Copies of this chain bind each other. A is one copy, B any other.
Amino acid sequence: MHAKGYLDLMRRHGLRVTPQRRIILQLLEERRGHPDATAIHRLAQERDPRISLATVYRTMKVLEDLGAIQRHLFEGGPARFENADTDHHDHLIDIDTGKVIEFSSSRIEKLQEEIADRLGYEIVHHRLELYGRKKRQE
């Protein structure tokens, strides 16, 4: 999903495309990391100083409701956002730098399903986060 896709998505839902939203969407496009609201706000303000933090939060909420982004609450920090157009994956967070590495394991997913099933539950969603530190030498 590229910039056009985001905008189309919003238009399709009868939402207005304002300059603020245009800038925020563009930023999320260009920097596909796991920024928090403050980081997005800072970058957005470089392009238009009028953009408020409230608008950033409101825009992220809209995108989240549309299923276009995901909100992650990693340990001890503000919410971080990520494009939702990639396949499902989990996260390894570098506890020294805050850097996020994505990974996925169908074997783990399968085991999770089995466990939930055994307990009589259907998984609606899950959260697997590894907090680690870079090894010295491989």
A interface residue numbers (CB < 8 A to B): 73, 75, 92, 94-95, 101, 103, 105, 107-108, 111-112, 115-116, 119-135, 138
Whether B124 pairs with A127 at a CB distance below 8 angstroms is no
| Among candidates B120, B123, B125, B127, residue contacting A127 with C-beta atoms closer than 8 Å | B127
With contacts A115-B130, A128-B127, A130-B126 taken as known, whether A138 is within 8 angstroms of B121 at the C-beta atoms is: no
Whether B108 pairs with A92 at a CB distance below 8 angstroms is no
List the B residue with the shortest CB-CB distance to A117. Answer: B135
Cβ–Cβ < 8 Å partners of A128 in chain B: 112, 126-129
Whether B107 pairs with A130 at a CB distance below 8 angstroms is no
Question: How long is the Cα–Cα vector from A118 to B129 in the complex, in angstroms?
Answer: 16
